[in-house]
């Protein structure tokens, strides 16, 4: 049955979030109603609010939700009322990529995660002024309750600290998965991560899990570099004061790094990252850029290096498989994501976004 909820609404492009009372409609057969306990804030939320990605506004964003199942649709088989869940990106489950185990590259990704509507064109949310886009990443988790598609739901243990695990749904999965699922560095290899916010910090931790013995963090904020050292970085570089390419050459004895990960999506940073690679090195991009953004790479002298460039979405993960693995690593103290988190109330969501943007906080999490 429908109910009134409280949500943070992105009312228009570039506008601050507004706390509003909305109507959440009836649960559909393939949906799970979740009472949110916490929701992580991700750079993708800011990109959508700022008009860089195509979700229609007004919308309820939020795609790193965690909470307790209140009710389930008649077609749901994976969870029951009372179950604790972490929420991640939605995927259709029926296209060729999904059926090949490549859910992150779902052929219907834009519609499933950014369309703002169900497949039948309806939205689960409305205000007194009309429809509000819902089902952002299958969930729209900046709200006290949400009707969530089943592919977004991952069951976790009842004693799991949901406010700690919420960020696994996107940022942590993206950074860690890019390393563990896609780059797959060998033990004893070298890794550099450009931008050590939440995604980059997850990559740093994953590099340590994989057995990389040289892990270099590059960031403009010294506070984030200090944190990177706490969670696994063996070296740090601040581009404000240091020539990054020269410093990484020095760190690696002139060889360059085996693996590089860019979380920024800034063309100049990508070119710089390519310049740090060793022979047969691999550069992966996870940072989102505005559609149409181009980057130029030098292809003359670099031809003989035989290097690889690839783009990675959602850490190339199947959330229902990968997130439980990250939780096990966290339990063992090998993936200390709790060191990154700063809690905020829903009413303070705009401050949380500002603190994330200016580098004051690595991972803000809204706690309901």
For residue 193, being part of any structural domain is answered with yes
Do 162 and 185 reside in the same domain of the chain?
A: no
What's the Cα-to-Cα distance from 252 to each of 114, 214, 222, 234, rounded to whole Å?
41, 8, 22, 12
Do 176 and 154 reside in the same domain of the chain?
A: no
How many structural domains are present in the chain? Answer: 2
CA 328, CA 305: separation in Å to the nearest integer?
38
Q: pLDDT tens-digit profile of 212-239?
A: 999 999 999 999 999 999 999 999 999 9
Q: How many CB atoms lie within 10 A of CB 305?
A: 14
For residue 328, being part of any structural domain is answered with no
pLDDT at residue 154 greater than cutoff 80: yes
- How buried is residue 13: exposed, middle or buried, by Cβ count under 10 Å (0-12/13-18/19+)? exposed
Do 178 and 258 reside in the same domain of the chain?
A: yes
**Which two tokens mark 131?**
């429809």
For residue 304, being part of any structural domain is answered with yes
pLDDT at residue 2 greater than cutoff 90: no
For residue 324, being part of any structural domain is answered with no
Over residues 55-77, mean pLDDT: 97
pTM over 0.75: yes
Q: Over the Cα atoms of the chain, what is R_g?
A: 20
High-pLDDT (> 90) share of the chain, %: 95
Do 16 and 147 reside in the same domain of the chain?
A: yes
SS3 content of the chain, % helix, strand, coil (to 5): 35, 25, 40
Domain with 241 in it:
172-312
Q: pLDDT tens-digit profile of 332-364?
A: 999 999 999 999 999 999 999 999 999 899 999
For residue 319, being part of any structural domain is answered with no
CATH code at 203? Answer: 3.40.50.720
Q: pLDDT tens-digit profile of 108-137?
A: 999 999 999 999 999 999 999 999 999 999
**pLDDT at res. 54:** 84
Nearest Cα neighbor of 93 from 322, 323, 325, 318 is: 318
**Which two tokens mark 59?**
């919308």
Do 201 and 139 reside in the same domain of the chain?
A: no
**pLDDT at res. 34:** 98
CATH code at 22? Answer: 3.90.180.10
**Which two tokens mark 328?**
């096990």
Do 268 and 361 reside in the same domain of the chain?
A: no
**pLDDT at res. 291:** 85
For residue 263, being part of any structural domain is answered with yes
CA 93, CA 102: separation in Å to the nearest integer?
10
Do 125 and 223 reside in the same domain of the chain?
A: no
Q: pLDDT tens-digit profile of 6-57?
A: 999 999 999 999 999 999 999 999 999 999 999 999 999 999 999 888 899 9
**Can the peptide bond before residue 58 be classed as cis, meaning omega within 30 degrees of 0?**
yes
Mean pLDDT of the chain: 96
């Amino acid at each position: 049955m429908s109910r009134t909820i409280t949500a943070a609404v992105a009312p228009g492009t570039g506008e601050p979030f507004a706390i509003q009372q909305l109507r959440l409609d009836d649960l559909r057969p393939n949906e799970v109603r979740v009472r949110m306990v916490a929701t992580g804030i991700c750079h993708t939320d800011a990109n959508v609010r700022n008009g860089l990605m195509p979700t229609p506004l007004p919308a309820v964003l939020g795609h790193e939700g965690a909470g307790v199942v209140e009710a389930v649709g008649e077609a749901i088989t994976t969870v029951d009322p009372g179950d604790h869940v972490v929420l991640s990106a939605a995927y259709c489950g029926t296209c060729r990529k999904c059926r090949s185990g490549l859910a992150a590259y779902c052929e219907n990704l834009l519609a499933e995660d950014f369309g703002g509507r169900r497949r039948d064109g309806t939205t689960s949310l409305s205000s007194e002024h009309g429809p509000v886009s819902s089902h952002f990443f299958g969930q729209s988790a900046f709200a006290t309750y949400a009707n969530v598609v089943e592919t977004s739901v991952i069951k976790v243990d009842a004693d799991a600290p949901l406010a700690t695990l919420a960020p696994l749904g996107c940022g942590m999965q993206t950074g860690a998965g890019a390393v563990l699922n896609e780059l797959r560095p060998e033990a004893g290899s070298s890794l550099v991560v450009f931008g050590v916010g939440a995604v980059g910090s997850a990559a740093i931790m994953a590099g340590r899990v994989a057995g990389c013995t040289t892990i270099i963090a590059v960031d403009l904020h010294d506070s984030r570099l200090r944190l990177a050292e706490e969670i696994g970085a063996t070296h740090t570089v601040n581009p404000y004061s240091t020539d990054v390419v020269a410093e990484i050459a020095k760190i690696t004895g002139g060889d360059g790094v085996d693996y590089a990960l860019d979380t920024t999506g800034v063309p100049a940073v990508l070119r710089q990252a390519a310049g740090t690679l060793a022979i047969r090195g691999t550069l992966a991009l996870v940072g989102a850029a505005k559609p149409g953004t181009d980057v130029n790479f030098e292809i003359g002298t670099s031809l003989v290096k035989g290097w690889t460039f690839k783009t990675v979405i959602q850490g190339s993960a199947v959330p229902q498989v990968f997130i439980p693995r990250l939780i096990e690593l966290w339990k063992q103290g090998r993936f200390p994501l709790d060191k990154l988190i700063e809690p905020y109330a829903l009413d303070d969501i705009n401050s949380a976004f500002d603190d994330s943007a200016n580098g004051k906080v690595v991972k803000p999490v809204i706690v309901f």
